Amino acid sequence: MENSNHTSNFIRNIIVEDLKEGRVNEIITRFPPEPNGYLHIGHAKSICLNFELAKEFKGRANLRFDDTNPIKEDQEYVDSIKQDVEWLGFTWDELNFASNYFEEMYNRAIVLINKGKAFVCDLNAEQIRETRGTLTEPGQNSPYRDRTVEENLELFDRMRKGEFGNGEKVLRAKIDMLSPNINLRDPVIYRVSHTPHHNTGDQWCIYPMYAFAHPIEDAIEGITHSICTLEFEDQRPFYDWVVAETEMEKVPHQYEFARLNLTNTVMSKRKLKQLVDEGVVDGWDDPRMPTISGLRRRGFTPESIRTFCREIGVTKSNGTIDSKYLDYFIREDLKLKAPRTMGILKPLKVVITNYPEGEVEWLDAEINPEVPEMGLRQIPFSRELYIEQDDFMENPPNKYFRLFPGNEVRLKHAYFIKCNDFVKDEAGNVVEIHCTYDQETKSGSGFTGRKVKGTIHWVEATHAVPAEFRLYEPLILDEAEEAEGEGSFLDHLNPNSIVTEQGFVEPNMKDVQPQDKFQFFRHGYFNADSKYTKDGNIVFNLIVSLKSSFELPKS
Ligand code: ATP
Ligand code: MG
């Protein structure tokens, strides 16, 4: 990983100051996912930020599963999150589970009760909502607010012992129902939920609320800079209140940054889960998904995602990034890494009528012209080839420089060929074209006799290896975000998000391995699908096409 590439941002500036002023000796950050889904590219932004800051300042970064809500959490998600963070190139210092701190959280709640700063409340969820007030109206005190410390201790103990049903009682912080910040109006900090937990089993039937648990988790781990997204800005006063009133020894500080939004992309675990559960996609790692595992299967590299996250920067204002920006970085990354090759997506048979029958010659082709050290590959040439259907037209428009009757083109790495004739089937489709080649025009021979305007790609037919190509467009149409609220985002699925073609690739591709990446001449970058490339089957996912109207903004 590059070290010189640290883009400055406001959180980094705070850290520099904190270290300089001696407010902290070592910075400790954490990435705290809830294991209720797979990670997405938005999470990658947070992962990169937390881990790269820790690395740059020789501090530490923890991976912590924020697993305080037993209902939605699952071991499958825990495993996938670990895999994704590692794949992105990061190593955590500590691997923690918030649920391991349940006992300590319980004890800290008792500290609050003993100080008269928390009380057991019998109002139900709806009554609590109704008495909370609004932005313009104050809240009302709960009738249970003045319970004695002894009574609260006893009731809280009975809550833990399972004497109450779900929702029957809660523990609330006792702060100020008149506070202009609604989060300080006696928020609920513990609830009863008779639900087994993926880590603690049935040890607990009361669970802490996120807003209470999170600051305690940070304080226990000695997190110095607790970085979260902007929605939590209004929670910061409560975060500080919890750390102070529960008398945590170490005092973490929360900093908020703008979450990542991408055009044509849903970025909420709930919606992504819906796509999976309703079978709209082929699992969490469907190549169209913005999940880390989906991007991996699509063919994105960790480097491209890290560079993207670094370049979009860290700000305090929400905005939406063009998803073409991510495409730009994968092109940049693969340009020098990916071998070049040729593949035919929609085959049309070509017969070279003046090439001897039964003969095959092997031609040299550069593996990557931008990296000569990558060497050469050998590709066969013979009397029968495949080209793209689009590279022949019976009646071409002006400025069509590819094959048509009487026209000559260059076959990449091979010879000039000229079209003389073609064959149609009963339905009128061209099924075969007949050409002649000119031996003198062999690629690399220095031939300068005449020029042609078109260069097309091809694959020799008798050695060609069948392959499937999967071409992708965004899963979600652009209007989906605007239509939020009216109906479901599922009404805005792009019907062309996947198009499949059965084609051919060069013979040296027969041993292609899952996740191998190539630049197919004139088509784009493709990745061998990790799920379906097996048992002699080859499936290529389009990562990104070669060209884009997108230009990197000048900075
Ligand atoms: P979602 O809304 O997709 O379910 P979440 O915020 O509920 O995401 P968590 O597992 O709580 O998911 O997120 C873990 C961390 O990742 C949090 O610190 C959160 O702020 C951060 N994060 C989540 N989504 C984004 C995003 N789009 N951009 C930047 N950071 C994000
Ligand atoms: Mg969350």
With respect to residue 3, please indicate whether it lies within any of the assigned structural domains.
no
The SS3 of residue 277 is: helix
The count of other CB atoms within 10 Å of the CB of residue 429 is 10
Cα–Cα dist 41/309, whole Å: 9
What the block records as the tokens of 17 is: 């100051």
The SS3 of residue 332 is: helix
pLDDT score recorded for residue 2: 39
Residues 190, 239, single domain; the answer is yes
Residue minimizing CA distance to atom 10 of ligand 1 = 33
Residues 250, 152, single domain; the answer is yes
Residues 192, 124, single domain; the answer is yes
With respect to residue 46, please indicate whether it lies within any of the assigned structural domains.
yes
Domain boundary (234, 257, 280) is at 257
Residue range 218-241: mean pLDDT, rounded: 98
Residues 107, 251, single domain; the answer is yes
pTM: 0.94
Lowest mean pLDDT, pick from 21-30, 330-339, 478-487, 538-547: 478-487
CATH number at residue 55: 3.40.50.620
With respect to residue 321, please indicate whether it lies within any of the assigned structural domains.
no
pLDDT score recorded for residue 74: 83
User: Could you tell me if 54 and 27 are in contact, meaning their C-beta atoms sit under 8 angstroms apart?
Assistant: yes
Sign of the C-alpha dihedral, residues 44, 45, 46, 52? positive
Counting ligands in written order, the one closest to the CA of 34 is 1
Residues 441, 515, single domain; the answer is no
What the block records as the tokens of 282 is: 């082929």
Residue 82 annotated to the active site: no
Residues 178, 114, single domain; the answer is yes
Cα–Cα dist 321/393, whole Å: 40
Lowest mean pLDDT, pick from 206-220, 282-296, 535-549: 535-549
Q: From the CB of 42, is ligand 1 less than 6 Å away?
A: yes
Q: Which of 46, 254, 265 to mutate to test the pocket of ligand 1 (most atoms within 8 A of CB)?
A: 46
Residue 34 annotated to the active site: yes
Q: Give one DSSP letter per residue of 288-324, joined into a string.
A: TS-BHHHHHHHT--HHHHHHHHHHH---SS---B-TH
Q: Give one DSSP letter per residue of 389-408, joined into a string.
A: GGGB-SS--TT--SB-TT-E
Residue minimizing CA distance to atom 26 of ligand 1 = 42
With respect to residue 327, please indicate whether it lies within any of the assigned structural domains.
no
CATH number at residue 471: 2.40.240.10
Q: Would you say residue 104 has pLDDT above 90?
A: yes
Confidence class for position 6, pLDDT limits 50, 70, 90: low
Distance 215 CA to ligand 2 centre (A): 14
Domain boundary (464, 494, 520) is at 464
Residue bearing the bigger pLDDT, 296 or 198 = 296
Mean residue pLDDT across the chain: 95
Residue bearing the bigger pLDDT, 341 or 7 = 341
pLDDT score recorded for residue 477: 86
With respect to residue 325, please indicate whether it lies within any of the assigned structural domains.
no
pLDDT score recorded for residue 553: 56
pLDDT score recorded for residue 68: 94
Distance 226 CA to ligand 2 centre (A): 14
Distance 35 CA to ligand 2 centre (A): 9
- Listed in sequence order, the residues at least 6 apart from 168 whose beta carbon sits closer than 8 Å to its beta carbon are 122, 192
Residues 156, 246, single domain; the answer is yes
Cα–Cα dist 503/395, whole Å: 25
Q: Would you say residue 73 has pLDDT above 80?
A: no
With respect to residue 315, please indicate whether it lies within any of the assigned structural domains.
no
Q: Would you say residue 489 has pLDDT above 90?
A: no
Residues 60, 193, single domain; the answer is yes
Residues 293, 414, single domain; the answer is no
With respect to residue 530, please indicate whether it lies within any of the assigned structural domains.
yes
Q: Element (H or E) spanning 207, and its range?
A: strand 206-208
Q: Would you say residue 7 has pLDDT above 90?
A: no
Q: Which domain holds residue 221?
A: 10-257
Residue minimizing CA distance to atom 4 of ligand 1 = 269
Q: Which of 41, 43, 295 to mutate to test the pocket of ligand 1 (most atoms within 8 A of CB)?
A: 43
pLDDT score recorded for residue 481: 54
Residues 103, 196, single domain; the answer is yes
Q: Give one DSSP letter per residue of 401-434, joined into a string.
A: -SB-TT-EEEETTS-EEEEEEEEE-TTS-EEEEE
Cα–Cα dist 12/227, whole Å: 11
Distance 541 CA to ligand 1 centre (A): 27
Plot region of 522 (φ>0 → left; ψ -120 to 50 → alpha; else → beta) = left
pLDDT score recorded for residue 484: 55
Residues 19, 68, single domain; the answer is yes
Q: Could you say which DSSP state residue 325 is in? A: H
Q: From the CB of 34, is ligand 1 less than 6 Å away?
A: yes
- Listed in sequence order, the residues at least 6 apart from 185 whose beta carbon sits closer than 8 Å to its beta carbon are 132, 133, 139, 175, 176, 177, 178, 179
Q: Which of 290, 311, 299 is nearest to 338 (CA)?
A: 299
**pLDDT tens per residue, range 263-315:** 999 999 999 999 999 999 999 999 999 999 999 999 999 999 999 999 998 99
- The domain tally of the chain equals 3
Residues 145, 233, single domain; the answer is yes
What the block records as the tokens of 13 is: 């500036």
With respect to residue 318, please indicate whether it lies within any of the assigned structural domains.
no
Confidence class for position 396, pLDDT limits 50, 70, 90: very high
Residue with tokens 């890494």: 337
Residue range 380-405: mean pLDDT, rounded: 97
pLDDT score recorded for residue 301: 98
User: Could you tell me if 87 and 292 are in contact, meaning their C-beta atoms sit under 8 angstroms apart?
Assistant: yes
